[in-house]
Amino acid sequence: MKSPVVKRSIVIAGHKTSVSLEDAFWKGLKEIADARHMTLSDIVASIDSQRRHGNLSSAIRLFVLDHYRGQSSDRDHRR
C-alpha cells in the first residue's frame, strides 16, 4: 500500500531541504502561495522562520490548517 505522505525537496533560504506532506497539504500550500503571489520556496521560508518548535513538515500542516480555518471562520462571521 502506498503511503499518503510524500517526501518533497524544496530550496529555502538558499539551502535544499525536504518535507514530508500529504498531497492535500501540499496542494493547499500551493494554493495559498498562489493567492499571495509568492513562490513555494518563499512561503516555506516564511513558515520556517516563524516556527517555534516541531519540524518543518508539522509547521506547514499547521499553517495550512490555520489558513483554511480562518477562511471558514470569516465565512461564518459574514452570515
Overall pTM > 0.75: yes
Runs of H (alpha helix) within 1-79: 23-35, 40-50, 56-78
Q: How far apart are the first and last CA of the chain?
A: 43
Place of cell 521560508: 45
Q: Is the pLDDT of residue 3 over 80?
A: no
Instruction: Give the pairing of strands 15-22 and 5-12.
Output: antiparallel
Q: Is the pLDDT of residue 39 over 70?
A: yes
- Describe the crossing of helices 56-78 and 23-35 by its angle, rounded to 10 degrees: 60
